[in-house]
Structure 1
Amino acid sequence: MTAPLRLLLVDEDPVFRLGLRIWLEQTGEFAIAAEASTSTETLDQLAALRGNSTGETAVADGPPVPPETEAAPLTNPTVDLVVLDLGLGQGNPEQIPGLRLCEAIKFTYPSLPVLVLSASDEPVLRAAAEQMGADDFGIRGLPVQDLARLLKRAVNGSEPVEITPPSPSPPPPNPLVRLRRGLRQDALRQIEAAIAETLAERQRGRTTLWNDAVLAGRYRELRAARWLVNRLLATPNLEQAATASASPPPPAIPPDSSQPSLPSRPEAAITTTDRVSLQRGDVQSLVFEAVFRRLQGSLANNSEIPLEIDILRDDRRRELFYLILRQLEDALGELRQAQVLPGQLGDRTPEVLRDVWEAVTTDFFGRYYTVTTVPDMPGPELPVVKVLLQEEAVVRTQLLEPIPLIPQLIGHLLYRDPLPVDGSLYIATTPEALSRSRELLEHLLIQLANGVMLPVLNRFGDVEQIKKNLYSRRLMSTRDIERFRNDLSWRYRWDRLVNNPKAVFESQYRLFGFTERGIQPYFIYAPRREELDQLSGIQLSVTLAIEARDAIAPRLRSAIAFVGSGVVYVLTELVGRGIGLVGRGILKGIGSAWNDAGFKQDRK
């Protein structure tokens, strides 16, 4: 069995790197040796990898030296290929552009292959990359199978990559087709703008139930209108020609699975088909891919329960979830390499969660990130990560320890252990087990994200630097922040005294998961008899009150219903009839008096 090709990924987009890493590593033919998001970091990684291979100590020396004054070429680092983004440094003028970085890498390590990926397939870009020494050139949106073959060709230099020959250009459309296409494009632009406005209005904050229902209805109507426009104003000949020319060659894989395409921009979702062959991947890949797909949707909290992550901006919230997902993947890989036995997972789970929390906190804020507590005033700068890690006991007690079924989840992902679902054990590859595993992983992600933000609210809740970099606009003022913290405090008190004992008594766990509308809570069944026996004090009183209500309420309702039916009988049968008789007598008397008066007038 050949060793996997070791890659160095250089891209500013963490979403693209994460998706590329997940898909390439699951094939078993590639391994990600290192990742970098800047030119300086890339050169440091190459120097460090070379130092590890030769026994030297590498020191970063900043930007690359021009070729005219640089020293002799060095030996290659322990990496087989550098995958470089052509658009590196476009948003930062101080950073070395992607082409210059490619030139520096090829001059320093002439025999190290470099594959340049670009968002577009312009011939001038391909020629520029080849002029700078790139060994191959590709598109960021290539299907994963084609990209894997392109990586092998860049390393070996001999394997041809089959590329679909360009089909002849379709004939120019007639005026009617152009008119329909123009109308469709204009209508779709207006509909997409209205959809974006509706989604933005729903994500601005918590709205009333009525407004939420109206916005949801408007969103459905806009989607239906978009579908109708695409059908009524479609141009079949032009659409089929464009599809035929742009479609990639069919992948040589079994018919029960299909290859996704990598996103060409941060906003693009990495999608997979729902039916994936279990022979080509494992349970962990399936569950992580399902959660990763759900992270592409709305991440707003649409429940009435406040969460620590509510204070984050949408982009920072998404970035935090990506970091947690990646750290969990690394932690599972370390457990697999350590050959931890399934029976040891219960004891190792708290340590694993703590390590993941510390790693995510460090990566999210930066190990050396410092802030001053008083803005515009000279004073000592506090190391943020060091201060946040001091809250480990609080985070562990309030958030990490209450996360349910984590040993079972890890055993399911690592060893394909059966997973309990509604009191029954299901084989690891069944849809029920995979769905429950995804639900538990989503809840774990959300609680770890809350654990990252909880120390921030406790220690740096009103620090301007933190607010500017992380907080949402609707929670920027001191009053809003304090109200948000008070809501969280009351929520934890109410959960500890009422909600958690009630959930234990009802044999349920409350989980948070990702839906189309955002984060929503729901309950799953699980036996909790041992926890029920350990309740005491107010928590035990809550369960006794619920039990008393369950015992008394049906009988009390029956008694009230019986008394009510008796009252109704008395009022309708006795009192009502009596009132009816009295009224009838009154009406009869009025009629008699009227007749007597008429008779007297007739006699006169």
Structure 2
Amino acid sequence: MSQSRDKRQQNQSRKLMLIEDDPVFRLGLVACLEPFADLQVLLEADSATTALEMLRELTTSTDTIADQGNDALSTRSIGLIILNLDLGQASSSHGFGLTLCQQLRAHYPQFPLLLLGSSLELTRLAAAFQSGAGGYCLKGTGVMELVTAIRQVAAGQPYWTEGIQAIATNTAGTQPLDTIQLIRRSPLDTALTHSPREPARLSWLAKRRQNLRLSGVRQIERAIAALDAQLQANPSLIDQLLLAGQRRELRTARWLVNRLLDSASEPVPLQQPLPNASRALDPDRQPQLTEAVAEQSLSESQTALTPPIANSIQSPQSALFQATFTKLQANLQNLTGTALEIDLLRDTKKRELLHLVLRKLQDLLDELRGQLPLEQLETKRDVLLSDLWQATVMDFLGKYYTVQIEAQPIEVVNVLLQDREVVQLAILDRIPLFPEFLSHLLFQAPLTIDGTDYATGTVEAMTRMELLLQHVTIQVANAVMQPLINRLGDVVAIKQAFYDQRLLSSREIERFRNDLSWKYRTDRVFAEPAAIFESQYRLLTLTGNGISQTTIYAPRNDELAALSGVPFLVTLVLETRDAIAPRVRSAFSFFGRGVVYVLTEIIGRGIGLIGRGIVKGIGNALQDTKPKRSERWR
């Protein structure tokens, strides 16, 4: 009877598969789950290839023994896959955990999937949610809480509290990561944890352990975030290896801190619940919330994106805007090497302007949804960008903002709007792929990247869309500042209200204007024709260290055919150089080898023979000067 009971308990336990490339974390997680009889790690894999091979063998063997009965089948099947979303980041800055997640949901949808990760990267979370993953937990999660998540996802219930909090609310951009990582349990679990049945206070020792653990995890998380920012700046290969090693050490230290100072009795800190969190999920993925938790609301921040981003987690729009909003909280230093109009602003005004552009673009998308058909996006492109620019100008400066110039009141907005055509031609018309950007967000049209179409929500599409969104935001902000610099750049009231302290003098402002003028001339004559000829777009992007420039491939044959004058001559010069340069290099290489041959084989040998003869003559002369032996004894 005891054997049958043990067998029944074994069959009732949940078989787990762990996919983790960090052997220390994998060993520690297996050890943490050993005390729980209903959880058993059946399979372990350290790479995507190994995991797929194991699953292929598992499904094949399961099919062959299906006729042996339920007992034999249950001992071979797994009830949950635990995947490290950061899989492969030790060897690559991006990793391939998300790609494996999408493959698992596409080929093995029968297995529930729980994701583990070290950060709340919004684009990856949105893509993982779209692929159908069952839940997400930070690696710093406590053991009991992680066990709860495993049981919940294995039972078919979602565990997306952290992902929803990061994507659907605006707190991710304004709170540090160590604050966000405290939000781990679902609202129902939080309400149950703080029910009146449990003691409200911890003992002094438990509080001390809790404070030590949270303080240590905060410091480690800040260090990991700093390393991630350095890795995003495209360092050298040696620096990447060193930074990746330091990040692995910090992750191990974080796991040890959580393991050694963990207390099963310490409650999760209370936090405000998510607005519209249940509405953000699919109907079949909504968690059941208690009335007390559901009735609470989150207060709106003044810097929050309006109404906002929590409308729909199914669309990647919320994740893209929130990711860009989060990056705007970092350093906004210009790293492109060329002048940008927003460089004239002090940091607070620069960040305020970029936030405003992002919010106005979101409002524009909300207005266009359901009003404009797909085929009219291309024809309405210029009008949409112009309206976005005008709305941003009016809100940033104030519709009735007035300055005194020579005792005359001047309405600033009316003056700036007179340069609409200049701004349209210089900046707005050069924003690339804006219709494709709108169609992908509004109509879920596939996005073409390097000749391949990618559907909405894929990691490639999300990455490209994030670059386009950042470029649109920065360029519209530049367009807002351009007429202000040209028309009212030296007005004292405007300088005191907006400008950076280093650019207040008239000389610095004129120098800045000249830099901008020179940049636009060189871009129009040289840089832009070269980019068209190379089928590239240059995009301004946000990194952890500031604003940088990157290039993407896109066909530009129509623009190349429309070139004329000096820009067309530039492309001819480039083509001529490409045609002649290899031949000239080959000719110089051949001529150089000939010169080397002549110098070494002919002239060198001749000089060597001459030197040899000289040395030989000197030796003979010395030999003749020596007295012979017979003469010496004479």
Normalising by structure 1, what TM-score?
Answer: 0.60
The structure 2 residue matched to 1:535, chosen from 563, 577, 585, is: 563
The structure 2 residue matched to 1:304, chosen from 337, 342, 356, is: 337
The structure 1 residue matched to 2:382, chosen from 318, 337, 350, is: 350
- Give, as a single letter, the amino acid of the residue that structure 2 aligns with 1:571: L
The structure 2 residue matched to 1:431, chosen from 417, 442, 459, is: 459
Aligned length: 433
Indicate if the aligned counterparts of 2:365 and 2:442 stay in contact, CA closer than 8 A: yes
Q: Could you tell me which residue of structure 1 aligns to residue 534 of structure 2?
A: 506
Map 1:194-593 → 2, pairs under 5 A: 236-237=260-261, 244-246=268-270, 280-337=313-370, 339-373=371-405, 379-593=407-621
- Give, as a single letter, the amino acid of the residue that structure 2 aligns with 1:336: R
Tell me by how many angstroms 1:266 deviates. 7.6
1:215-236 deviation line (CA, Å, top 9, x unaligned): 9999999989987986788894
1:176-213 deviation line (CA, Å, top 9, x unaligned): 9799889969x969x99xx8xxx9xxxxxxxxx99x99
Tell me by how many angstroms 1:474 deviates. 2.4
1:466-492 deviation line (CA, Å, top 9, x unaligned): 222211222222222211111111110
The structure 2 residue matched to 1:164, chosen from 166, 169, 194, is: 194
Indicate if the aligned counterparts of 1:141 and 1:262 stay in contact, CA closer than 8 A: no
After TM superposition, the structure 1 stretch with the greater mean CA deviation from structure 2, 425-434 or 497-506, is: 425-434
Indicate if the aligned counterparts of 2:185 and 2:268 stay in contact, CA closer than 8 A: no
Indicate if the aligned counterparts of 2:538 and 2:552 stay in contact, CA closer than 8 A: yes
- Give, as a single letter, the amino acid of the residue that structure 2 aligns with 1:327: K
Question: CA 1:384/1:242 → structure 2, altered by over 3 Å: closer, same or farther?
Answer: farther
Tell me by how many angstroms 1:577 deviates. 0.8
Separation in structure 1 between the aligned mates of residue 313 and residue 432 of structure 2, nearest angstrom: 30
- Give, as a single letter, the amino acid of the residue that structure 1 aligns with 2:365: L
After TM superposition, the structure 1 stretch with the greater mean CA deviation from structure 2, 280-289 or 440-449, is: 280-289
Tell me by how many angstroms 1:286 deviates. 3.3
Question: CA 1:269/1:409 → structure 2, altered by over 3 Å: closer, same or farther?
Answer: closer
- Give, as a single letter, the amino acid of the residue that structure 2 aligns with 1:357: W
Indicate if the aligned counterparts of 2:339 and 2:516 stay in contact, CA closer than 8 A: yes
- Give, as a single letter, the amino acid of the residue that structure 2 aligns with 1:455: P
1:302-352 deviation line (CA, Å, top 9, x unaligned): 111211111111221111111111111111222224x21111111212111
After TM superposition, the structure 1 stretch with the greater mean CA deviation from structure 2, 404-413 or 164-173, is: 164-173
Q: Could you tell me which residue of structure 1 aligns to residue 138 of structure 2?
A: none
Separation in structure 1 between the aligned mates of residue 211 and residue 463 of structure 2, nearest angstrom: 47
Question: CA 1:415/1:267 → structure 2, altered by over 3 Å: closer, same or farther?
Answer: closer
Gaps of 5+ in 1: 1-18, 24-116, 118-138, 150-159, 200-208
1:247-298 deviation line (CA, Å, top 9, x unaligned): 7899876899999x9799789999x99xx9x984223323323322322322
Separation in structure 2 between the aligned mates of residue 435 and residue 267 of structure 1, nearest angstrom: 25
Question: CA 1:602/1:402 → structure 2, altered by over 3 Å: closer, same or farther?
Answer: farther
Separation in structure 2 between the aligned mates of residue 349 and residue 303 of structure 1, nearest angstrom: 27
Q: 3-state DSSP class of the match of 2:377?
A: helix
Separation in structure 2 between the aligned mates of residue 431 and residue 244 of structure 1, nearest angstrom: 32
- Give, as a single letter, the amino acid of the residue that structure 1 aligns with 2:261: N
Tell me by how many angstroms 1:452 deviates. 0.4
Tell me by how many angstroms 1:408 deviates. 1.3
Separation in structure 2 between the aligned mates of residue 471 and residue 218 of structure 1, nearest angstrom: 40
Q: 3-state DSSP class of the match of 2:432?
A: coil
1:544-563 deviation line (CA, Å, top 9, x unaligned): 11111011111110000000
Indicate if the aligned counterparts of 1:346 and 1:407 stay in contact, CA closer than 8 A: yes
Sequence identity (%): 41
Question: CA 1:241/1:449 → structure 2, altered by over 3 Å: closer, same or farther?
Answer: farther
Indicate if the aligned counterparts of 1:263 and 1:269 stay in contact, CA closer than 8 A: no
Q: 3-state DSSP class of the match of 2:538?
A: strand
Separation in structure 2 between the aligned mates of residue 257 and residue 398 of structure 1, nearest angstrom: 48
Separation in structure 1 between the aligned mates of residue 471 and residue 513 of structure 2, nearest angstrom: 21
Aligned-residue Cα RMSD (Å) equals: 5.0
Q: 3-state DSSP class of the match of 1:244?
A: coil
Q: 3-state DSSP class of the match of 1:511?
A: strand
Q: 3-state DSSP class of the match of 1:372?
A: strand
Q: 3-state DSSP class of the match of 2:394?
A: helix
Separation in structure 2 between the aligned mates of residue 429 and residue 179 of structure 1, nearest angstrom: 39
Tell me by how many angstroms 1:412 deviates. 1.1
Separation in structure 2 between the aligned mates of residue 371 and residue 568 of structure 1, nearest angstrom: 73
Question: CA 1:241/1:469 → structure 2, altered by over 3 Å: closer, same or farther?
Answer: farther
- Give, as a single letter, the amino acid of the residue that structure 2 aligns with 1:302: L
Tell me by how many angstroms 1:367 deviates. 1.2
Q: 3-state DSSP class of the match of 1:346?
A: coil
- Give, as a single letter, the amino acid of the residue that structure 1 aligns with 2:575: E
